[in-house]
């Protein structure tokens, strides 16, 4: 199944990055563009073990950092942590296909933005509180609706379902 292959992750993240840098800026104003790559990380990590969740998050974050061209490592670490935590969480909860992924994605979007803001301040970028707070509703609502949608669009399936299908 493609969703468990690392090269497929690279392709999916490349597509998400392309949409995030070209299409979403046409829809959302500068500074308010939501993080589609993070949404894809959350969606994929829902079907992975924690270590593989961290790996796919790291790949996504590294690709984002390379395209952004600044502070290489910030998105890598953040997305790896998000991938790890989501994969850890999914093994311990009962989830549906829409609501729970949406809520987890929304929480991840808000939390990662807060951590980014804190890290940037530590690194000497004196961003005020408003640039952190103002895009939060957009980020959270986007992740809330898009995480389940991305899972549906990519037809992501749990590993045991895929294995069962392959056996038959």
Taking the complex as a whole, the smallest distance from the CB of residue 163 to other proteins amounts, in Å, to 35
Q: How many CB atoms lie within 10 A of CB 137?
A: 11
Binding residue (CB under 8 A) for other proteins from 3, 9, 33, 109: 33
Angle (nearest 5°) at CA 29 between 131 and 129: 5
Check binding of 32 to other proteins (CB under 8 A): yes
- When the beta carbons of 33 and 44 are compared against other proteins, the nearer one is 33
Check binding of 21 to other proteins (CB under 8 A): yes
Q: From CA 139, how far away is CA 103, in angstroms rounded? A: 12
Stretch that binds other proteins, among 1-9, 63-71, 142-150, 153-161 (CB under 8 A): 63-71
Torsion of CA 105, 108, 110, 116, to 10 degrees: -140
Residues in Cβ contact with 98 at an 8 Å cutoff, skipping those fewer than 6 apart: 148, 152
Taking the complex as a whole, the smallest distance from the CB of residue 37 to other proteins amounts, in Å, to 7
Instruction: Point out which residues bind other proteins (CB under 8 A).
Output: 17-18, 20-22, 25, 29-33, 35, 37, 64, 67-70, 75, 116, 120, 125-128, 130-131, 134-135
């Amino acid at each position: 199944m493609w969703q468990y292959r690392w090269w497929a992750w690279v392709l999916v993240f490349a597509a998400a990055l392309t949409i995030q840098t070209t299409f979403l800026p046409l829809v959302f104003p500068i500074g308010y563009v939501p993080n589609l790559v993070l949404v894809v990380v959350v969606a994929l990590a829902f079907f992975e073990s924690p270590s593989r969740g961290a790996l796919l998050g790291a790949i996504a974050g590294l690709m984002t950092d390379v395209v952004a061209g600044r502070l290489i490592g910030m998105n890598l670490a953040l997305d790896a942590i998000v991938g790890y935590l989501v994969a850890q969480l999914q093994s311990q909860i009962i989830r549906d296909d829409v609501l729970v992924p949406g809520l987890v994605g929304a929480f991840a979007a808000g939390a990662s933005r807060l951590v980014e803001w804190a890290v940037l301040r530590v690194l000497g970028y004196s961003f005020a509180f408003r640039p952190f707070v103002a895009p939060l509703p957009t980020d959270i609502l986007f992740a809330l609706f898009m995480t389940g949608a991305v899972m549906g669009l990519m037809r992501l399936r749990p590993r045991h379902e895929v294995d069962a299908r392959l056996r038959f």
